[in-house]
Amino acid sequence: MNDLFDNLRPQIEEIYPSTFLLSGYADSFVLLSEVMRLSSISPFRKMQTPMGHYTGIELTNCGPFGWVSDSKGYRYEQIDPITNKPWPEMPPLFHQLAKDAAKLAGFKKFDSNACLVNHYQIGDKLGSHQDKDEGEFDSPIVSISIGLPATFQIFGKTRSGVEKEVELKDGDVMVWGGDSRLIYHGVKTIKQDKLNPKLSDRYNITFRKA
């Protein structure tokens, strides 16, 4: 049907098998103020990796389960190791946004219980990795980008060899699951945005079922 409301419907594109991009779907202004509030409870921090290094980017969590890394490995924890308290509650707005985005991409009843927030500054990048610390891989991952644009790289079934690059802009939401749930992916070095030279940060919020 082609009617007056067509241009109010979210734009959704399958950019890779079982990987969907909803361009500009999220209101980043509201999300960012929530991220600032959450990080005043559980602060952004770099985490030690099992190899004895530190994660290049800062991160924090909200919701029942938070992703953590230390000398013992990667896993989900209910207690923030810095505050020794539960992670801040997932804002209902976040949970609903993730559910709605997943539904638009064809994943019904996505009930996320883990929300990871990554913070990038100019010069930061995220190397090729798989997201495989969750208990089940039937649920999709919903990922929201805020602030500086990023080039998201999809490597596919092996760690190297870029198959697809996607520009993720402020307010873009990506949903992926199904056959692509375990693909290798990463984020290229974040650069200054010539159109918005004062922007200095990127945040990425990912929702998962831990």
**Footprint of Fe ion on this chain (CB under 5 A)?**
131
CB of 129 to Fe ion, least distance (A): 6
> Which listed option, Fe ion, ligand MD6, none, makes contact with residue 187 (CB within 5 to 8 Å by class)?
ligand MD6
CB of 84 to ligand MD6, least distance (A): 27
In terms of Cβ atoms closer than 10 Å to its own Cβ (0-12, 13-18, 19+), residue 132 is exposed
> Which listed option, Fe ion, ligand MD6, none, makes contact with residue 42 (CB within 5 to 8 Å by class)?
none
Q: Which of 60, 61, 153, 206 binds ligand MD6 (CB under 6 A)?
A: 206
Q: Which residue has the tokens 């419907």?
A: 9
On whether the CB atoms of residues 12 and 105 are closer than 8 A, the answer is: yes
Quick one: 91 or 146, whose CB is closer to ligand MD6? 146
Question: d(Cα 144, Cα 6) in Å, to the nearest integer?
Answer: 23
Q: Binding of ligand MD6 at residue 98 (CB under 6 A)?
A: no
CB of 1 to ligand MD6, least distance (A): 32
Residue nearest to Fe ion (CB): 131
Question: d(Cα 205, Cα 62) in Å, to the nearest integer?
Answer: 10
Q: Binding of ligand MD6 at residue 152 (CB under 6 A)?
A: yes
CB of 173 to ligand MD6, least distance (A): 10
What b/e sequence results for 17-32 when a residue is b if at least 16 CB atoms lie within 10 Å of its CB, and e otherwise? ebbbbbeebbebeebb
Secondary structure class of 30 (helix, strand, coil): helix
Question: Dihedral sign, CA of 190, 193, 198, 204?
Answer: negative
Quick one: 86 or 125, whose CB is closer to ligand MD6? 125
> Which listed option, ligand MD6, Fe ion, none, makes contact with residue 119 (CB within 5 to 8 Å by class)?
none
Quick one: 48 or 137, whose CB is closer to ligand MD6? 137
> Which listed option, Fe ion, ligand MD6, none, makes contact with residue 152 (CB within 5 to 8 Å by class)?
ligand MD6
CB of 42 to ligand MD6, least distance (A): 18
Neighbours of 16 (CB within 10 A): 18
Helix axes 28-41, 92-104, angle to 10 degrees: 130
On whether the CB atoms of residues 154 and 164 are closer than 8 A, the answer is: yes
Binding site residues, ligand MD6, CB under 6 A: 118, 126, 131, 141, 143, 152, 174, 176, 185, 187, 204, 206
